[in-house]
Amino acid sequence: MGKPSKPAWYQTIRKYEAPSIPKAVWQLVDTFIPYMGLLYMMHRSIQAGLPYWVTLVLAVPAGLLLGRIFIFFHDCVHSSFFASRRGNAILGTICGILTFTAYGDWRRVHGVHHATAGNLDRRGTGDVWLLTLDEYVAASKLKRLRYRLFRHALVLFLLGPIYVFLIAHRFPHKGTGRSERFSVYFTNLAILVILVSASSTIGLLTYVQIQLPVLLLCGAMAVWVFYVQHQFEGVYWARQGDWDPIRVGMEGSSFYKLPKVLQWFTGNIGFHHIHHIRPRIPNYNLQQCCDETPDLPIVHPLTIRKSLRSVFLKLWDEKQKEIVGFDSPGRSARG
């Protein structure tokens, strides 16, 4: 069986892959300057002896801005933020240090994610652990318990980001090459230098009081957005023989329609269906691509209210071809 042909609009939207220096530079200005300003204000609030809740209030917009910086990092991984590969590598490395994520290592893992998203036969790298209904029924009690704990909202969106950004990202992923391992070691070294510098200037405790809540909010935001981009009602998954990359983009990746302010903080990543079709489109062109391409298939948006139901979706039912919860009728029927 040959590969399915690509629709005409697939070529039409390629023009939006062209990076824009003015747009890119402005994004750096409108994000990094307020981010650094907020970190300074957090430092001043601690130095002035104000209640710590004042610092935590300032951590909210700072964490959201760090999440936006992570989107720049994500664009650099796809070599889309700048036209220059070197420029993307430099900015990506800087953003990676700020978000505690090694650029080279994450680039490889994320590339695997794009090549395998929605493919039931190629799960396990760069995705959220997902079992099929039959796999769950056949699993041992210990594996079921591990899976249930992993898929619990508290673990996924609170403990998960702590583990991923503070611990897991300190080590190279399995199967990485020399350059990817170097990126992890370089990022760790840069973080260590920051820690030592902070200890000798503002104090280690002050640094932790500033950095930790900002990083954890950014991490929770990143994990949540990534989760609902591929775990939602109506999502597409298929075995290798039936796997279609166009359907993965348009049906296996959500169109997360957020309020404008959250769309800005998340760098338009809600247009994830378009991103998976053309990952080289920079974040600052995604809205324009959607608005100016009437031939794009209609994708029903995932609203914040609808996305909350994704928390209860745990297993892929291959017979019904839908993602279901632990209490699904299919599971009951199969014991």
List pLDDT tens digits, range 52-97: 999 999 999 999 999 999 999 999 999 999 999 999 999 999 999 9
Identify the pLDDT of residue 329: 57
- Within-domain flag for 247: yes
Do strands 315-317 and 131-132 pair parallel, antiparallel, or not at all (unpaired)?
Answer: parallel
Reported as a single tens digit per residue, the pLDDT across 211-258 is: 999 999 999 999 999 999 999 999 999 999 999 999 999 999 999 999
Residue 264 domain boundaries? 15-333
* Closest C-alpha to 266, from 120, 29, 67, 60: 67
d(CA 204, CA 95): 22
Let me know if residue 327 belongs to a domain.
Answer: yes
pLDDT greater than 50 at residue 332: no
Which residues have CB under 8 Å from 259's CB, separation 6+?
304
**Does a structural domain hold residue 5?**
no
Give the pLDDT band (50/70/90) at residue 335.
very low
- Contacts for 289 with CB less than 8 Å, ≥ 6 apart: 13, 16, 271, 274, 278, 281
**Which pLDDT score, from 0 to 100, does residue 4 have?**
61
pLDDT category, 3, cuts 50, 70, 90? low
Tokens of 250: 């348009």
* Contact predicate 305/297, CB 8 Å: no
* Structural element, H or E, at residue 8: helix 8-12
Looking at the domain assignment, is residue 24 inside a domain?
yes
Q: Does 8 fall in a domain? A: no
Q: Are 209 and 283 in contact (CB under 8 A)?
A: no
DSSP class per residue in 47-112: HTT--HHHHHHHHHHHHHHHHHHHHHHHHHHTT-SSS-HHHHHHHHHHHHHHTT--HHHHHHHHHH
Cβ–Cβ < 8 Å for 32, 93:
no
Whether 229 is in a domain gets the answer: yes
263: helix, coil or strand? helix
As a whole number of angstroms, the distance between CA 17 and CA 281 comes to 4
Q: Backbone dihedral region of 65: left (phi > 0), alpha (psi from -120 to 50 degrees) or beta?
A: alpha
Number of domains, the chain: 1
pLDDT tens for each residue of 262-274: 999 999 999 999 9
> Exposed/middle/buried for 88, CB within 10 Å: 0-12, 13-18, 19+?
buried
Question: Exposure of 266 by Cβ count < 10 A (0-12 exposed, 13-18 middle, 19+ buried)?
Answer: buried
Q: Which amino acid is at 177?
A: G
| pLDDT over 50 at 195, yes or no | yes
Which of 126, 85, 105, 106 lies closest to 180, judged by CA?
A: 105
**Euclidean distance between CA atoms 305 and 327, whole angstroms:** 21
What is residue 1's predicted lDDT score, i.e. its pLDDT? 45
Question: Is there a domain that residue 4 lies in?
Answer: no
- Assess if residue 2 is contained within a domain: no
**9, two tokens:** 């609009």
DSSP annotation of 297 reads: P
Q: Model pTM?
A: 0.94
CA angle 287, 290, 296 (to 5 degrees): 165
Stretch 300-327: mean pLDDT: 94
